[in-house]
């Protein structure tokens, strides 16, 4: 009985995770938003540069961050700030994974675009479970930072 209560609490906590999408290509951002919302989860907001991302940071638990944004190659620094200063689980989604191949302090990992919706769902589930202390399998397409 107690185990079922804990599992239910953990599942409820999983669904309360809010996702920030830091992406300057509007159609990609909308596609990610639709996938996350289709899972029954909330999108904390869409940001296309550092200023917007940091303004939305207090509303987020998870963030998908592109490397190159509207204000230049600011993604790695944004990801570091989101992770270290706001406790957000950050995964970089980029066509240029080599830029963050050595890792970014505090960030979880990187995945190369294009990313299929099923992989986005796996990533969200992995990051949400990780945040609440549940076991989760790392999506095979993601490179995890040490």
pLDDT at position 5, please? 39
DSSP 49: S
Q: Which of the residue ranges 57-61, 126-130, 133-137 has the most confident prediction, judged by mean pLDDT?
A: 57-61
In a domain, 58, yes or no: yes
Considering the entire predicted model, what is its pTM?
0.90
Residue 21, SS3 per DSSP: strand
Residue with the bigger pLDDT between 81 and 14: it is 81
DSSP state of 41: -
| Residue 34 tokens, joined | 């639709």
First to last CA, the chain: 37
Which of the four pLDDT bands, split at 50, 70 and 90, describes residue 126? very high
Full residue range of the structural domain in which residue 68 is found: 12-132
Total domain count, the chain: 1
CATH number of the domain where residue 86 is located: 3.40.50.2300
**Domain annotation covers residue 5:** no
Q: Residue 125: which residues within 8 A CB-CB, separation 6 or more? A: 14, 136
Q: Is the pLDDT assigned to residue 10 strictly greater than 50? A: no
């Amino acid at each position: 009985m107690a185990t079922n209560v804990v599992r239910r609490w953990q599942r409820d906590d999983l669904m309360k995770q809010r996702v920030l999408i830091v992406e300057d290509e509007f159609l990609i951002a909308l596609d990610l938003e639709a996938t996350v919302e289709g899972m029954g989860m909330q999108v904390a907001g869409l940001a296309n540069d550092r200023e917007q991302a940091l303004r939305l940071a207090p509303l987020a638990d998870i963030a998908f961050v592109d490397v190159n944004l509207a204000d230049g190659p600011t993604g790695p620094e944004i990801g570091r700030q989101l992770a270290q200063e706001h406790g957000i689980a950050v995964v970089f989604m980029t066509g240029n994974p080599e830029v963050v191949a050595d890792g970014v302090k505090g960030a979880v990992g990187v995945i190369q675009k294009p990313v299929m919706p099923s992989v986005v769902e796996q990533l969200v589930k992995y990051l949400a479970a990780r945040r609440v202390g549940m076991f989760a399998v790392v999506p095979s397409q993601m490179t995890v930072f040490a």
